[in-house]
Structure 1
């Protein structure tokens, strides 16, 4: 039995003893299984996040919108899960005053994974932005396809109204590679502009080759149409354009266009079919595939009358190209290819003119005719009229005019004896 003093002393010491808070690591160690489970979930979640991110990258090559959206949702879901685990750990494990080595390692691992998480979040935002841009592009393309389909339906309907159904043409326009077009005055007006540009474009190399060969351009212009008074020397180019035009449009008022055909019976539908067949083709390919087609014969008949033999001999030193064409061939020389572009534009204009019902009529004006603003258009825009109010006279007809229905497409003329404003 212990002495009373001794026991009282022990009781007093026990009553005076301070109670210290339990260290964090001891509290954690009370349920080590929960911590291990949490860490296991974190690593499992990170593994799933990496897998989802790889799926997101793979969905971009090749670009698959459905797979991208599916992978994007999966990445976001894994990010949310990881965020929930982070908040759960912080709520149940407040930061201790003293951190054990085990907690330090765990904190370092968490910090590393958080840094990786931020990297994934940046990449996901980048991919989400790319997805939005791609979705916008897809919507625009879908709208363009829808508009194109509506336009195509309308044009095909117009073609059928003109009698060019699949049955009449022997096969569908799409099978033949034709682009459906609407046969209307605007189409013909556009073809007239194309023909006029082609005349202008062919005159350029022709004049340049004449200069290189030493031709007297003043004398050459005067031989085409004598005694024309030009406001500027540079305006003599219109004489050569007029020469080309007169030769190319000769016979335009005939349905055959001066081409002898084995079957002279043609219909407006067949003429429009010829227009469509050549419209999208390179003219050299057209004559190469069928040298003796109506278009091929037309080219061979027009080249000799547009390009004089003396002119050609001075250009090339011989008449080999001319003889080759006259013999039924179509040379692949740059000069002849430039001529073929001109011939194609005039031929298409003729085929189109006779596709209308009633047919388009061509008209021209003679030199010396008074200028009429109704039927004529000056190729020089800044002309100054005489003070005596006399109407200027036509010096050259550069491009004929046309009657289409009740409308007039003015012929283009060069006015003589007028001044040009500077």
Structure 2
């Protein structure tokens, strides 16, 4: 969902000027317009708006047609039926609400000067308390070996010189081995 977050148009539009004038002011205006509306109403009102294109792109990137058809196996495979479920489905509405939260965060990030930077932590890197928060809810033992990142749960952000930690998950197997003081091979 966060792929393209660091570009003004969320990497949806190539070589297009999205905003005349101050980018921060434009993003703030778009943010206010967005939060004052219901995301589903926005989609039904203007299917060619940036938010609509964002939702469609992310949905296509994340929800494989096979998964979609298995979720909605009771629907006829007719294209018109599959397209119409999106306006009625609780699943799609939940997806749009999640997309709306990320879109809102993106517009907020681009309303700052300098723009808020996003970072994700790669799997296998050493844990750092400065940039990361472990959401595994495990106890740290004194003298414990270096903990490795399993995956990023929530990306981190840098606002000027302030860091908002990335939330990461430590692999369960590694956490169990560390707690038992078993050497990792």
Output the TM-score relative to the length of structure 2: 0.83
* Structural mapping, 1:349-388, within 5 Å: 349-381=105-137, 383-385=138-140, 388=143
Q: Distance in 1 between matches of 2:16 and 2:168?
A: 37
Change (3 A) 1:261 1:332: farther
1:345 Cα shift?
A: 0.3
Change (3 A) 1:271 1:313: same
Give the corresponding residue for 1:282: 38
Question: Is the Cα–Cα contact under 8 Å of residues 398 and 414 in structure 1 kept in the other structure?
Answer: yes
Helix, strand or coil: the match of 2:136? coil
Structure 2: gaps (5+ residues): 180-185
Tell me the C-alpha RMSD between the 2 structures: 2.5
Helix, strand or coil: the match of 2:87? coil
Structure 1: gaps (5+ residues): 1-247
Give the corresponding residue for 2:9: 256
Q: RCO (CA 8 Å, sep 6+): is it higher in 1 or 2? A: 2
Give the corresponding residue for 2:183: none
Q: Distance in 2 between matches of 1:401 and 1:336?
A: 27
1:354 Cα shift?
A: 0.8
1:387 Cα shift?
A: 6.0
Match of 2:94 among 324, 334, 338: 338
Question: Is the Cα–Cα contact under 8 Å of residues 397 and 413 in structure 1 kept in the other structure?
Answer: yes
Change (3 A) 1:297 1:330: farther
Specify which structure has the higher proportion of strand.
2
Give the corresponding residue for 1:392: 147
Question: Is the Cα–Cα contact under 8 Å of residues 385 and 392 in structure 1 kept in the other structure?
Answer: no
When the two structures are aligned, how many residues end up with a matched partner?
170
Q: Distance in 2 between matches of 1:297 and 1:368?
A: 34
Question: Is the Cα–Cα contact under 8 Å of residues 156 and 165 in structure 2 kept in the other structure?
Answer: yes
Helix, strand or coil: the match of 1:394? coil
Question: Is the Cα–Cα contact under 8 Å of residues 115 and 159 in structure 2 kept in the other structure?
Answer: yes
Q: Distance in 2 between matches of 1:321 and 1:305?
A: 20
Output the TM-score relative to the length of structure 1: 0.38
Specify which structure has the higher proportion of helix.
1
Larger Rg, first or second structure (1 or 2): 1
1:262 Cα shift?
A: 8.6
